[in-house]
Amino acid sequence: MEDVIAEQSISGYLAFSLQIIISIGLMFYVVHRAQVELNAAIAACQMELKTSHMNGTSTNHSGFTYCSKRASAGGGIINVV
């Protein structure tokens, strides 16, 4: 009887440990994907700002109005923490 309880206890700890390992792996994957998406959005925003400044226009027709408003409020510098 004690052997069955010990086996169930060990298998329970192993299953719980596996769940923790999988959760940590998924967390790192999601954070990495979010960082890649954020970097892509920042790069697109910076490219849009460069092209709008090169053209000498202050209007924005490409849909990145948030980028232009952020850059004009921050003096053209985008800080990422």
Query: Is the model's pLDDT at 62 over the cut of 70?
Result: no
Tokens of 67: 């980028």
Surface-to-core class of residue 67, CB atoms within 10 Å of its CB (0-12 exposed, 13-18 middle, 19+ buried)? buried
Q: Which residues contact 38 (CB under 8 A, 6 or more apart)?
A: 80
At residue 16, the pLDDT reads 96
At residue 79, the pLDDT reads 55
Q: Can you tell me the distance from the alpha carbon of 62 to that of 24, in angstroms, rounded to the nearest whole number?
A: 38
Model-wide pTM > 0.85: no
At residue 67, the pLDDT reads 62
Q: Which DSSP symbol is given to 27?
A: H
Quick: pLDDT tens for 30-53: 999 999 999 999 999 999 888 887
